[in-house]
Chains A and B, each alone.
Chain A
Amino acid sequence: MRLTRKVSRCIAAMAYWISKLAQKVLLLTALAIVGALLCATMVRFAPGYGVDERELDPRLSAASRNAIRNEYRLGGGLISYYRGYLSGLLHGNLGTSAFLQQPVARLLKERAPFTVRAVFLGLTTAWIAASVLSLLTIRWRTWVLEYSATAVTGLLIALPTAVVALLCLYLRVPVFLGIAVITLPKLFRYQHNILAQAHARPFVLAARARGVSSNRILFWHVIPAAWQPLVALLGVSASMAFGAAIPLEALSDSPGVGQLAWQAALNRDLPLLTSITLFVTLLTAGVNCLAGAIQERQP
Chain B
Amino acid sequence: MLRAICRGTLLIILALGLFAGNFTRYSYAHQFREIPNTTPSAAHWLGTDGLGRDLFTRVVYGTRVSLLLAPAAALLATILAAILGGLAGLRGGWLEKIILASADLSMSLPLLFVLIALRAFLPLDVSPVLSVVATFVTLGVLGWPSSLRVVWAAARNLRDSDHILLARALGCRQSQILVRQMIPCLRPVFLAQFWISIPVFILTEATLSMLGLGVMEPLPSWGNLLHGAEDFSAMAANPYRLVPLFVLVLTVICFQFVFSGSEELA
Contact = CB atoms under 8 A, between A and B. Distances in A.
Interface of A: 31, 42, 46-48, 154-155, 157-163, 166, 169-170, 235-236, 239-240, 242-244, 246-247, 250-251, 261-262, 264-266, 268, 270, 273-274, 276-277, 280-281, 284-285, 288
| Main SS at interface, chain A | helix
Contact of A270 (B105, B121, B213, B229): B121
A240 B253 CA distance: 21
Contact of A42 (B110, B121, B206, B230): B121
B210 A246 contact: no
Interface stretch (B112-120, B152-160, B164-172, B188-196): B112-120
B249 A170 contact: no
B196 to A, nearest CB: 12
B116 A273 contact: yes
Interface string B199-225: 100011011001111000000000100
Contacts of A285: 105, 108
Contact of A162 (B105, B206, B232): B206
Contact of A266 (B213, B226, B232): B213
A280 B110 contact: yes
B106 to A, nearest CB: 10
Contact of B116 (A31, A158, A265): A265
Given A163-B210, A262-B116, A280-B110, A158 B249 contact: yes
Interface in B228-246: 229-230, 232, 245
Interface of B: 104-105, 107-114, 116-117, 119-124, 199, 203-204, 206-207, 210-213, 223, 226, 229-230, 232, 245, 248-249, 252-253, 256
A281 B252 contact: no
Contacts of B114: 277
16 contacts: A46-B121, A47-B121, A48-B123, A157-B256, A158-B199, A158-B256, A160-B210, A161-B203, A162-B223, A242-B110, A247-B207, A266-B213, A280-B110, A281-B110, A285-B105, A288-B108
Contacts of B121: 42, 46-47, 270
B211 A262 contact: yes
A154 B117 contact: no
A242 B249 CA distance: 23
Contact of A161 (B117, B207, B213): B207
Contacts of B110: 239-240, 242-243, 280-281, 284
Contacts of B122: 47
A46 B117 CA distance: 11
A276 B120 CA distance: 13
Contact of A243 (B113, B211, B232): B113
A235 B111 CA distance: 14
Contacts of A47: 121-123
Contacts of B107: 236, 239
Interface centre among A157, A162, A243, A266 (most CB of B within 10 A): A162
Contacts of B232: 170
A123 B247 CA distance: 30
Contacts of A264: 120
A265 B120 contact: yes
A229 B199 CA distance: 25
A284 B108 contact: yes
Contacts of B104: 288
A162 B225 CA distance: 13
B252 A158 contact: yes
A148 to B, nearest CB: 15
Contacts of A163: 206, 210, 226, 229, 245
A246 B117 contact: no
* Nearest 10 CB-CB pairings of A with B: A162-B210, A160-B206, A158-B252, A243-B112, A243-B110, A242-B110, A265-B120, A265-B116, A162-B207, A47-B123
Nearest to B118: A42
A160 B116 contact: no
A46 B123 CA distance: 8
Nearest to B245: A163
Contact of B249 (A159, A169, A273): A159
Nearest to B254: A158
Contacts of A154: 253, 256
Nearest to A235: B108
Given A266-B213, A284-B110, A273 B120 contact: yes
Given A161-B203, A163-B245, A265-B213, A169 B117 contact: no
A51 B62 CA distance: 36
Contacts of A243: 110-113
A39 to B, nearest CB: 9
A157 B226 CA distance: 17
Nearest to B116: A265
